[in-house]
Amino acid sequence: MEMASARRTAATRARQSDDQIVVWGACVLLSALSLLLLVAVSSSGFGAARLTFAAGEISVLVRVGTSSSGGSAVDNVELCGADGDEYDRMLVDGEWVRDDARRPLYEPWQCPFVDEGFRCRENGRPDDAFAKWRWQPRHCSLPRFDAKHLLETLRNRRLVFVGDSIGRNQWESMLCMLATAVAGDDEASIYEESGSPITKHKGALSFRFRDYNCTVEHHRSPYLLRRGRPPRRAPRHVASTLQLDAIDSRARRWKDADVLVFNTGHWWSHERLQQLHCYFQEGKKLRLDMSIEAAYERAMGTLTDWVHREVSSYKTLVIFRTYSPAHTRASNSGGCASETLPELNSSRISLHRWPGMVTPAFEKSGTAAAATAGRLHVLNITLMAAQRRDGHPSVYNVAAAARTPAAQRADCSHWCLPGVPDAWNELLYALILRRFS
């Protein structure tokens, strides 16, 4: 952690233009309530997801990598390569392969960028196999992750993650993966641009890799949409609204990114919306009885339209990383606690309990979506993540010393690092290389 604080103190230059300060002022006001609520509920495991699984419990078909090259025969298959949507689908059609020789990609105690909540081993998790699986596409092989090569590819560029705390989980994984290419003795070479520590997340954090002039950023926007005050004469219980036809008002901070990775999902639940006293709105009209599924569908249309209208397809690679399933009420064996192995047989997994999150929302949003074809890559990690209920922090989401049985709520939504999000980032790596090199 010495390294972390040195890196932080090295970065004290916070220079925001007046323009940004006005935007920030507005958004801080608007989201103050939700930030408070976020703090209040962040230990409660985001009880949003409603996935269940086929009745059968885990069947284990462990394939342990034997040789130092990883062991899987599929390794010899040629690198993934195909056109557009086909390529996106090819990447996520595959299986988890145990690979003790090449996993994990980084050691958590050498990476200062991981939230305490994701530091499972340091928080006392006894098993470590969850960090040793890699994703293997069925019909091709992934480029082997090379942090230096990715940094070179990102030179003079911005890699921006926008979404909820699962997106932040993925962003922290990416920072750790990239940091392995930076000499450990040069502590000022990666720093947060405004000097904020990684734990103080008020909207956005941007880490700069000095020698590559590139930034890897996370912008918090759990719905991706604009949230604001209800229209006049709205019922009193309506404290705020989600504007289904408008993108988050901070979007102009992201839109010039070179790689833009969206995610959403966990906040689209009755529980969360009720906590926020937040209701849907379209134009000036409140939509008090609109279903979450319909609203989500509408939101994806809004996002697609925005990408089409505002984002340059020449400059920016736009990716939507799909819903990351939580295993909160997944099984009568108690969610994700004490799971140590993935479900390797994907046909035993049923995604039906959360239809709104898994229907191909992007295809239904009409003409705009058609026009955007090829612009918005859908990185569909839903099924592969659903196979990994062993990957969540569970009760190892706080330091052992701070753990009290009474107050403890297991986290079956986020992921341990190193772990599952590293695999998403390897897919992202494949997409970035394909686009920029």
- Give the binding site for ligand NAG (CB under 6 A): 56, 59, 156-158, 213, 322, 345, 347-348, 351, 358-361, 378, 380, 382-383
Virtual torsion, Cα 194, 196, 201, 206, nearest 10 deg: 40
Which residue in the block uniquely carries the two structure tokens 């036809």? Answer: 245
Residue 238 backbone phi and psi in degrees, to 5: -85, 100
User: What is the smallest separation between the CB atom of 399 and ligand NAG, expressed in angstroms?
Assistant: 35
Q: Which strands sit side by side in the sheet containing 240-247, from one edge to the other? A: 225-228, 240-247, 278-282, 285-286
Residue 114 CA to residue 105 CA, distance in Å, equals 14
Judge whether 240 and 227 are in contact, CB under 8 Å.
yes
d(CA 408, CA 417): 20
As annotated, the active-site residues are 165, 411, 414
- In three-state form (DSSP H/G/I as H, E/B as E, the rest C), the secondary structure along 283-327 is CCEECCCCCHHHHHHHHHHHHHHHHHHHCCCCCCEEEEECCCCCC
Q: Of all helices (H) and strands (E), which one includes residue 59?
A: none
Q: What is the SS3 assignment for 247? A: strand
Long-range contacts of 380-383, Cβ-Cβ distance < 8 Å, separation of 24 or more: 380/88, 380/89, 380/92, 380/322, 381/92, 381/321, 381/322, 381/324, 381/423, 381/424, 381/427, 382/322, 382/323, 382/324, 382/325, 382/351, 382/357, 382/358, 383/92, 383/346, 383/349, 383/351
